[in-house]
Structure 1
Amino acid sequence: MKHALFIVSLLDGKGPTGVEKHFNDMLHQARCHEIDAELVAPYPRRGIARKGAAMAARMIGTFDRERAAIFDAWIETKTLERKLAGILPRYAALGRTITLCAQDPLSALAALQVKAGHDCRVVIVIHYNVSVAEEMFLKGETTVQGPLWNFAFRTERQALARVDQIIFVSEFMRKLTLQRMPELDSVSHTVIPNFIADSPASEAVTSFDADLISIGTLEPRKNQVFLLRVLARAAQLGHRYTLTLVGNGPEAGRLQQQAAELGVAGQVHFAGFCKNAGNLIVRHRVLAHAARIENMPITLIEALAAGRPILAPAVGGITEIFDHGVEGYHWPLQDVDSAAALLIELLGRPDIYASFSQAALVRYRSKFDGDLLVSHWLTTILNSHGSSHTGWQKTWRPMPALDRDPMAQA
């Protein structure tokens, strides 16, 4: 029996986020394996009803920003429900086995609501860091125990308890989630890391756009100001390195001001949003990352695929991507001097750099290559281990067990 896969998300798939890269790659891979695959998102926002709802949300926001966000989330959920309810009967009539793969708890609740009247499977992929409420708090959208905070926690708990399958992209998030909600241990769940599909091979380049590249939204959690401080400290020690910052966000102006104050403005290129930013990594010597918490950042996996060493903190799922002293260094976010020393050693020692670069490619090919993981993703999402449609199952090999506790570095 042929499958139909619907990616359900609050994102439209056109943005720069790692979540969108993941599900766009997943849609592409599913179609390559003759699976009907489609994105369902609450866009475009058209119609009198949607415009009226947006106006109502703005009115509520004038006196209560958090409740306005909750109201807008409710509207998006209802939009998703309506879209799914209109699509599913057509595929059911074609005899398809239907799976709804939600990319966030709110989308999962919409999918579960529709499942009540349709024969389908609901899966959720955990992309967020710690919790949706925590991410909203770090962005300044809510306060601890505020209305939006509590709404996000309720949504997460309700959705995860009712889905057919939970897929974590890091062991870090699996452990953290089950510690917060031990009742989820009875829900089918597994860990499958993110993958890079059709990754460009590492290139031997003779000139670089800059020494370092960092890719991500310019927001407080990503902590790009740390990179500027490391550059400044290295310059004080006589080592002038250059950095490309890729991404837009609310911190852009402050980071530009900080670069000027630290005296490194001439060393930093603010590239803004770049489509397919991962392709830029090969034009740089090192991938630098400074986020205070991460789940399984795809940009680090892209660096491995490009054969580029990584400098990133030992937080969250990052320790599952690369090992300190093998494919790069885990630098300390609380110690700029030590971080600068690691940067200087990496770029000043050709033997270390060559060793890390080679190890990065080996790590990518053994753990994150799409040829290894796509089949695992598809069989898990579609629950098709015993299916007669086995075209995507030929390359999957079980992932090796982790040899350390990722929570130790959280």
Structure 2
Amino acid sequence: MKILQALFFPPEQPGGVSSMVPYIQERFNDMDVEMELFSLPKRIRNKGSEEITFHTFDHTPYIGNKLVDKYIQTYRDYLWWTKMRINKSYDIIHAHHPIAAMVMKRVFPNTKLILTLHSSYERELTLNKAIKVGSIEHQFLTKIYRELEATADRILTVSNAFKSYLAEYVEDVSRIKVIHNGFDEKRFRPIAHENEVTQLISVCRLVPAKGLDVLLKACARIKAKGHPFVLHLIGDGPIREDLEKMAQDLGLYDDIIFYGYMLHPEEFMPFFDVFVLPSRAEAFGSVFAEAALCQLALVGTNVGGIAEQIEHGVNGLLVPVEDDKALADALETVIIDPDYRYQLARTASDKAKRDYSLERVIAQLKKVYREEL
């Protein structure tokens, strides 16, 4: 069996699917399944020029919009790169991005195409205040889901919450199967340590959708109560300067460390105590499972895939979106009670090993691949 995993971002991209799929490839290759990876290099820009058409809607009324034009050009570039680089056939192509899926079906119309939808571009843009619901950009991006439904032979997604979100934009949501992301326990594992002051960590792109402004307000509340802590923020993004200024304004400058971009944060994540991320939306939230495998206590918002991973009070704490007081109360609970924190972390680790192991994903994918042959 020959399988192509078609990514958008290169495999060395940190976090999420781009960092997970190479480990899937490694496991399948060990089983004598020929699996290759393909992606669009960042340097490929404005190379493609082929005419783009969609089968389920007319995209021409959207032409002239900056975001739509960029999306179409990226489609052309991926198509150009695919035709130039791939000169062999496969039994199955598994795409992990809408553009990759549409291109692969166009180039290989007779090859079985499986698509995993990992996140929602339009929802991310909306939460980051880049577009508005109902705008030209939002209309175009949500129409892509119906196109994908007509294009792919099989559609997978990463959480029941995201499957429910997609129901508004596809004709038959029952076709979509949920396979949660899986993680290699060799990469994410606990390390015995003891911190005199509670160490909080958050790993994400610094964008409004991640709710880090809410986290800083919560930290200000905790500090006002006299609870010592250090918050480690790993990641970079367009609002970093705003967050740094906010930290100064809230008197948190000495309590927060901004690391910026880091290629392998999992290498020292196990040395912290609490993982916290008050996202405004998450299709799955892979970093929670990663932190759980490192045996950190989890604190997150009651949204999307986060709520599917955390059972409040059992393997972590959930708080409402945008509620800095509730977030501060949750963080205070795990800061002042190390035994409870440890209990949550152990339970979270056990669940992650059981539900999000890479072996489980391999078994589920193997079954899907065989069904499509």
TM range, smaller chain? 0.7 to 0.9
SS in 2 for 1:34: coil
Q: CA deviation at 1:200?
A: 3.6
Identity percentage of aligned residues: 20
1:122 equivalent to 2:113? Answer yes
Aligned to 2:103, which of 90, 110, 115? 110
8 Å contact kept, 1:102–1:124? yes
Aligned to 2:65, which of 64, 67, 72? 67
1:196 equivalent to 2:177? Answer no
Q: CA deviation at 1:66?
A: 6.8
8 Å contact kept, 1:66–1:148? no
8 Å contact kept, 1:231–1:240? no
8 Å contact kept, 1:66–1:141? no
SS in 2 for 1:294: coil
Letter in 1 for 2:224: Q
8 Å contact kept, 1:194–1:298? yes
2:55 is matched with which residue?
none
SS in 2 for 1:303: helix
Cα distance change of structure 1 residues 111 and 310 upon mapping to structure 2, 3 Å threshold? same
1:30 is matched with which residue?
28
CA distance in 2, matches of 1:358, 1:46: 45
Q: CA deviation at 1:23?
A: 2.7
Q: CA deviation at 1:102?
A: 1.7
1:176 equivalent to 2:159? Answer no
2:57 is matched with which residue?
none
CA distance in 2, matches of 1:231, 1:254: 16
8 Å contact kept, 1:209–1:283? no
Cα distance change of structure 1 residues 74 and 337 upon mapping to structure 2, 3 Å threshold? closer
CA distance in 2, matches of 1:107, 1:39: 12
Q: CA deviation at 1:279?
A: 2.7
CA distance in 2, matches of 1:285, 1:206: 9
Cα distance change of structure 1 residues 153 and 283 upon mapping to structure 2, 3 Å threshold? same
SS in 2 for 1:264: coil
1:400 is matched with which residue?
none
CA distance in 1, matches of 2:105, 2:19: 24
1:332 is matched with which residue?
320
2:7 is matched with which residue?
9
More off after superposition, 33-42 vs 167-176: 33-42
Q: How many residues align?
A: 361
1:342 is matched with which residue?
330
SS in 2 for 1:50: coil
8 Å contact kept, 2:190–2:294? yes
CA distance in 2, matches of 1:142, 1:132: 11
**CA deviation string 1:168-226 (max 9, x = no partner):** 11011112212x03512364x31111111133431111348961000000000011111
SS in 1 for 2:254: helix
Letter in 2 for 1:282: P
8 Å contact kept, 2:211–2:322? no
Q: CA deviation at 1:361?
A: 1.9
CA distance in 1, matches of 2:114, 2:372: 18
1:405 is matched with which residue?
none
Give TM-score scaled by structure 1 length: 0.80
Cα distance change of structure 1 residues 142 and 65 upon mapping to structure 2, 3 Å threshold? farther
Q: CA deviation at 1:101?
A: 1.6
SS in 2 for 1:265: coil
Give TM-score scaled by structure 2 length: 0.88
Aligned to 2:82, which of 73, 81, 84? 84
Q: CA deviation at 1:85?
A: 3.9
More off after superposition, 209-218 vs 234-243: 209-218
What root-mean-square deviation, in Å, do the aligned CA atoms of Structure 1 and Structure 2 show?
A: 2.7
1:215 equivalent to 2:182? Answer no
**CA deviation string 1:72-118 (max 9, x = no partner):** 3223223333443455552x3xxxx52222222222111221232xx
Q: How does 1:115-154 map to 2 (within 5 A)?
A: 115-116=108-109, 119-128=110-119, 131-154=120-143
1:313 equivalent to 2:301? Answer yes
CA distance in 2, matches of 1:335, 1:227: 9
2:277 is matched with which residue?
289
Cα distance change of structure 1 residues 32 and 338 upon mapping to structure 2, 3 Å threshold? same
1:254 is matched with which residue?
242
SS in 2 for 1:233: helix
Q: CA deviation at 1:127?
A: 0.9
For structure 2, the 5+ residue unaligned runs are 51-61
Cα distance change of structure 1 residues 206 and 251 upon mapping to structure 2, 3 Å threshold? same
CA distance in 2, matches of 1:27, 1:238: 49
1:21 equivalent to 2:19? Answer yes
For structure 1, the 5+ residue unaligned runs are 54-63, 388-410
8 Å contact kept, 2:47–2:80? no
CA distance in 1, matches of 2:142, 2:72: 15
1:159 equivalent to 2:172? Answer no
Aligned to 1:232, which of 216, 220, 243? 220
8 Å contact kept, 1:310–1:328? yes
2:339 is matched with which residue?
351
8 Å contact kept, 1:161–1:184? no
